[in-house]
Structure 1
């Protein structure tokens, strides 16, 4: 983690009204970003992870450019406004960006807020419908210029297959080979893919969507990927629901799929291919986390959870492929 006192001194000279900065407070130190609150200006600072990014291509400046383009699109979800981008190491030793701090809070699956966990079934059902609408609505957006040419589903799957091999998981790579033996169905023209379309990446204000955050895995591609990723949280015959989706009132799998079709204006036919691909993506990320810990590249104790859960995720992917007959 960076030295917050050093950062505060540097940012006082760099940012407009920087003399109002009182201190820098660490919020999260993850494998794709380090996030800090700039007190006094009430802004958010994002840096690359000190230990190096888990995922290839996690570029903190690219994230800022995505936020900038989304902010110019009237049809896009609300995102924080970018205040400053520094793409050189001369100020903080690494590239970084500063953005506004929006009101609201994310629904934490591990430590769920009382207003959500203890609220009514109707409230949770409404939260679910808004979650689906936020990501299904992306299917109607034209691709972002900053993200470049659309990525075919097969190309994206090959990227995660290579990632699985790098993470020392040949069994997972073999499952991707089985998936890639079948062409990926398309729902229509390419659209915007968030890449991490989970409940926790939405800021909620008084039970309403305030903003959609964390676009670092975004790409232009097949919108069924957004839906396929969302479904890992819901119970199916292959896996349990995550903790939040076990609460009463939360929509179930078939309801989410039907609502996604209604809002996106697309058919979910052929969804199983994309659902398997997204499960494989999750498994590949978990495999790399486990590999980082086993190889000594990281001593983060959170990665022991990755190691314990890896076989479960690979087993789920294999069960889904076997059932699909790929």
Structure 2
């Protein structure tokens, strides 16, 4: 992590109206995606672009702030932290940034928390219900309230094909994405707001209650089945399992139940949903390919991205199998 947290604290003290209460800045997550820090003394969250080369540029703090602000007003069923000040002047902290109120809770994606392990049936049912209610509230949000910007389904497939090619990815991944570009899945209707990364690992939980849906950097106006397919691809990952703790619990929703609840909640039909799951997994494969490529070319020294390279063969093999089944 390249940022000096003492300098961040000093910059906030000088810029914020309540800056005299800032006692320090603590890193919560940092590296090669959006970074988050706890601003001690005022108990708020600072959000900034990556301090080193990022996986998925550009990192538009102004648009992220606009998305969070509008979703919090237009879709109250989506749990969000309070959205506070935006600063688009890079002179203040070195990059544009915004602040959010701190919310209680913790996220999980690699291991099931104790409170859920203790209640694997009704607790898992409740987690899935709350999680999907948040996604459904976003998909029902008026498009007119969302900041502009989005891709059609063919453009989405082309975007991730370009990302994969730019990362010198495996021929198998490129072939799957080329097929999705040539034969894009059908749409369920007019575009809606889409989160882009609505995995359960981006939810915050406190005492079994969802308190926040986070990480909105890929939000756009597009086909909502992109979100559903992205969630569905975490089922049946086998040895290529990636951040899907909870899916093994007896009360966790099956893929069929997720489709049923989404159709009921949106009034749409989940056409070609298996191909949307393929697109979701291809998107993740493209992202981890970028991490591996940046490590192998010496642009990032973070050992986490060395591990990405080891994961790619099994992950793309699973993708190819899923694509064959989906047709």
Q: Could you say which TM-score interval applies, normalised by the shorter chain?
A: over 0.9
Please show how residues 65-214 of structure 1 align to structure 2 within 5 Å: 65-75=66-76, 77-106=78-107, 108-143=108-143, 147-169=147-169, 171=171, 172-214=173-215
Closer/same/farther in 2, CA of residues 240 and 291 from structure 1, 3 Å limit: closer
Closer/same/farther in 2, CA of residues 176 and 147 from structure 1, 3 Å limit: farther
- Computed over aligned residues only, the root mean square deviation of the Cα atoms, in angstroms, reads 2.0
Q: 1:145 deviation in Å?
A: 5.2
Q: 1:206 deviation in Å?
A: 2.8
Alpha-carbon distance between aligned partners in 2 of 1:239 and 1:296, rounded to the nearest angstrom: 26
Runs of 4 or more above 4 Å deviation: 236-241
SS of the residue corresponding to residue 251 of structure 2 reads: coil
SS of the residue corresponding to residue 244 of structure 1 reads: coil
8 A contact 1:140–1:264 mirrored in 2: yes
Does residue 260 in structure 1 map to residue 252 in structure 2? no
The residue that corresponds to 2:9 in the other structure is 8
Alpha-carbon distance between aligned partners in 2 of 1:174 and 1:122, rounded to the nearest angstrom: 41
Q: 1:169 deviation in Å?
A: 1.2
Closer/same/farther in 2, CA of residues 305 and 255 from structure 1, 3 Å limit: same
Does residue 291 in structure 1 map to residue 293 in structure 2? yes
Alpha-carbon distance between aligned partners in 2 of 1:218 and 1:144, rounded to the nearest angstrom: 14
The residue that corresponds to 1:315 in the other structure is 317
TM-score, normalised by the number of residues in structure 2 = 0.92
Q: 1:279 deviation in Å?
A: 1.0
Closer/same/farther in 2, CA of residues 89 and 240 from structure 1, 3 Å limit: closer
TM-score, normalised by the number of residues in structure 1 = 0.93
Alpha-carbon distance between aligned partners in 2 of 1:40 and 1:31, rounded to the nearest angstrom: 27
After superposing the two structures, state which structure 1 stretch, 296-305 or 239-248, moved more: 239-248
Paired residues, what number?
Answer: 324
* Structure 1 gap segments, 5+ residues each: none
Closer/same/farther in 2, CA of residues 164 and 144 from structure 1, 3 Å limit: farther
8 A contact 1:133–1:260 mirrored in 2: no
Q: 1:138 deviation in Å?
A: 2.2
Q: 1:239 deviation in Å?
A: 6.9
Q: 1:75 deviation in Å?
A: 4.4
Q: 1:149 deviation in Å?
A: 4.7
Alpha-carbon distance between aligned partners in 1 of 2:8 and 2:241, rounded to the nearest angstrom: 43
Closer/same/farther in 2, CA of residues 324 and 123 from structure 1, 3 Å limit: closer
SS of the residue corresponding to residue 138 of structure 1 reads: helix
Give a deviation string over 1:158-209, Cα, whole Å, max 9, x none.
0000000111115122221112222421111111110001001112233222
Please show how residues 53-72 of structure 1 align to structure 2 within 5 Å: 53-72=54-73
8 A contact 2:74–2:145 mirrored in 1: no
